Structure 1
């Protein structure tokens, strides 16, 4: 098994042209200028991006090359990563080319097969971009509500279905608790400053409703990101009642991963982690 010297994907030993990128492979024995691979030290074409033998990206910087000379575990890890990448990029239609449709019942089977292949692609992409189903390991009423409150001003990340629905329920339960607290506070104000009750109620009610609205708005946006829906759909949330029902309907869509644009980390955290 060889690796394409241009794109690094696995190709057959006798394959002279990569079936992924179409680049002609320069094999050993031809009159070409070579260089040693940074990992396995095999002679490879001087213009090769990847080693045809171990699959190492030649742009990799080694601070201590001697410690990597005989590292078989590293070579195996590189091969495993290449194989996983190949799986995530596999065209699902390749597995359906031999599917025969002879009667109407076969059409339903064919559509089911397509959906199964799509699920495989989603799972492969999730592994490729390191994206789980939810940010919380075990979504629940308390943990998911805390997550929603913590990210009440965050929009540049994802939010899984489990965390969203538990957190959304938690926000409404918090509204009940806040209402009880507001009632107790207003009762105390009434005892000493009766004329201030109306003003105090307006202030507390307005502050909580603004906080509640912003928190749920940003949660919807993160949920849309997780299902790869356009962010502008959040404008429907500003329509009373019907708009919220509309957004809740689309919030039920499953997670979709065709790229790694959004994860369960905000962009600022990702930048700090990669520095």
Structure 2
């Protein structure tokens, strides 16, 4: 620690020596003394060695990587009133991209090799040829639905970390230009002013609540229905 910085008495991160409030966690800082500076070194050393509870609360890891960042991604899947630093966001994005790529291949094989829905044009009846594959397709849809929600909220937290509102995601409705604008925002460095988006009443242990699961299941049901229609249309084209 140099003469111009000190460690936050709460989260242990390095901040300007004259700061009265921590730009990372918002904690009020006591007057700096030699004794307090020495005591502040301990939390910093602890946070370097492990990802502690404060890291998960702030959705920032001192050791960004595929595992640590993915854990933060999962923990705050239904939380937007936080921040997410650039490294954690892109590491988790890489992890999700790999997982979704594998599951997409499996889904592709199911949809185009096993008709999930068959319509008898003569008798006017509709029936399911492969119920086992339909169940598997629904399971994959649940995973895709969860990742869709979690990726959306992580984008909002990343924007918060750059001191931008999640409302900027409306730019995605603008073809091409909007996507580029959001991409630029997502790769910006962290801005200490982004702490204004953080709230204490964020959702904890979302998997213990009922409404996140309702959202996931509804999205999964819609996705499964879409897969059934695509599979049925593909089978109809092949047979005619």
Which structure has the higher relative contact order (CA within 8 Å, separation 6+)? 2
- Which has more helix, going by share of residues? 2
TM-score, normalised to structure 2, is 0.48
Whose radius of gyration is greater, 1 or 2? 1
TM-score scaled by structure 1? 0.43
